[in-house]
């Protein structure tokens, strides 16, 4: 698996939101895109998953340009996203939400069970809530559900859009721990978009810093943690996660 974005440009009407960025995600990596509001992080992810149209440039997945492939087919290729704001179906139960994650996979019942077991092992909390409506879960539980649902499709690459958004500090630490677990134990490649740069950089292998639709820095995550510019702009003094 190799995901490569080449000189990507994306427009909202006449406004250019992504101004030619290039990002590479290799098999087994956690790569993070960090940056302020409006830097283009979410747009980049939405373009990879197919919700946004490409103006120019290419999205190469295992060497093939998928920028014209409709969103619902990219799931089958192995790209799953846990969207910004979690995007769980509030009127469906936890189980139904998870089953939606496998919508196109006509696997046998045993595989569905296998997948559910895998998700429930990862998120025991979801197992307790299996018959509960998604809309009644806490923010952290909803985030677990969004990630679990994306994993149901057995993705090669998992796109996570601000998983820490709106969560309590305890829960943030918990979610990031799980992200590492998914990467190491399931072997899933992860592209993580985060405003919580501190946590993201601690978990990721490599990182890109986005500013107003452009990549301004690209380095090993551990290097960026010590980079004075990044520290000043995104980590602040004290660098407490919030």
Partner 1 sequence: MINIRDKGAEIWETWNRPKRVAFVLISIFFAGLLPFAADWGPTSFLNTPITSFQNVLVYPVGMFILMALGLNIVVGKSGLLDLGYVAFFAIGAYSQAILSTKFGWSTWEVLPVGIVIAMFSGMLLGLPALRLRGDYLAIITLGFGEIVRIIALNSKGTGGPNGVAGIPNPPAVFGFKFDLMHPEHYFWLVLGMILLVVWMIRRFTVRRPGRAWEAIRQDEDVAALMGVNTLVYKLWSFVIGAAVGGAAGVLYASKVMVISPDMFKFDVSVLILACVVFGGIGNIWGVILGAGILAYLPDRIRFISDARQVIFGLVLIIMMNLRPDGLLPRKKREKITEKSKK
Enter the tokens of residue 211: 């500013």
Binding flags for partner 1, 21-50, as an x/- string (CB under 8 A)? ----------------------------xx
Q: Which of 81, 142, 183, 199 binds partner 1 (CB under 8 A)?
A: 81
Q: Which of 35, 57, 78, 101 binds partner 1 (CB under 8 A)?
A: 101
**Nearest distance from C-beta of residue 195 to partner 1, angstroms:** 21
Angle (nearest 5°) at CA 22 between 223 and 212: 80
* Selection from 222, 216, 227 nearest residue 204 by Cα: 222
Query: Considering only 16-24, 35-43, 116-124, 148-156, which stretch makes contact with partner 1 by CB under 8 A?
Result: 148-156
54 is an interface residue for partner 1 by CB under 8 A: no
165 is an interface residue for partner 1 by CB under 8 A: no
Side-chain-side CA neighbours of 219 within 13 Å: the count stands at: 13
241 is an interface residue for partner 1 by CB under 8 A: no
211-219 contacts, C-beta under 8 A, 24 or more apart: 211/35, 211/36, 211/39, 212/19, 212/38, 212/39, 212/40, 213/16, 213/17, 213/18, 213/19, 213/21, 213/39, 213/40, 214/19, 214/20, 214/21, 214/40, 215/21, 215/22, 215/23
192 is an interface residue for partner 1 by CB under 8 A: no
109 is an interface residue for partner 1 by CB under 8 A: no
Q: Are strands 30-35 and 189-194 parallel, antiparallel or unpaired?
A: parallel
- Residues touching partner 1: how many (CB under 8 A)? 34
129 is an interface residue for partner 1 by CB under 8 A: yes
148 is an interface residue for partner 1 by CB under 8 A: no
112 is an interface residue for partner 1 by CB under 8 A: no
188 is an interface residue for partner 1 by CB under 8 A: no
């Amino acid at each position: 698996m190799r995901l490569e974005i080449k000189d990507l440009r994306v427009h909202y009407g006449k406004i250019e939101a992504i101004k030619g960025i290039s990002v590479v995600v290799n098999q087994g990596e956690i790569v993070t895109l960090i940056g302020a509001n409006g830097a283009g992080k979410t747009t980049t992810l939405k373009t990879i998953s197919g919700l946004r149209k490409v103006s120019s440039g290419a999205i190469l997945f295992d060497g093939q340009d998928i920028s014209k492939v409709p969103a619902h087919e990219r799931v089958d290729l192995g790209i799953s996203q846990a969207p910004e704001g979690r995007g769980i179906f509030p009127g469906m139960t936890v189980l139904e939400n998870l089953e939606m994650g496998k919508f196109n996979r006509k696997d046998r019942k045993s595989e569905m069970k296998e997948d559910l077991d895998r998700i429930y092992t990862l998120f025991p909390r979801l197992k307790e809530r299996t018959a509960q409506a998604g809309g009644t879960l806490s923010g952290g539980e909803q985030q677990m559900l969004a990630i679990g649902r994306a994993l149901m499709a057995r993705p090669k690459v998992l796109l996570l859009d601000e998983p820490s958004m709106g969560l309590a500090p305890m829960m943030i630490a918990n979610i990031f721990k799980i992200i590492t677990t998914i990467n190491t134990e399931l072997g899933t490649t992860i592209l993580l978009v985060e405003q919580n740069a501190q946590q993201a950089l601690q978990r990721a292998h490599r990182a890109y810093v986005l500013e107003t639709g452009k990549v301004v820095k690209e380095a090993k995550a551990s290097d960026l943690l010590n980079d004075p510019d990044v520290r000043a702009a995104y980590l602040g003094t004290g660098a407490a996660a919030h």
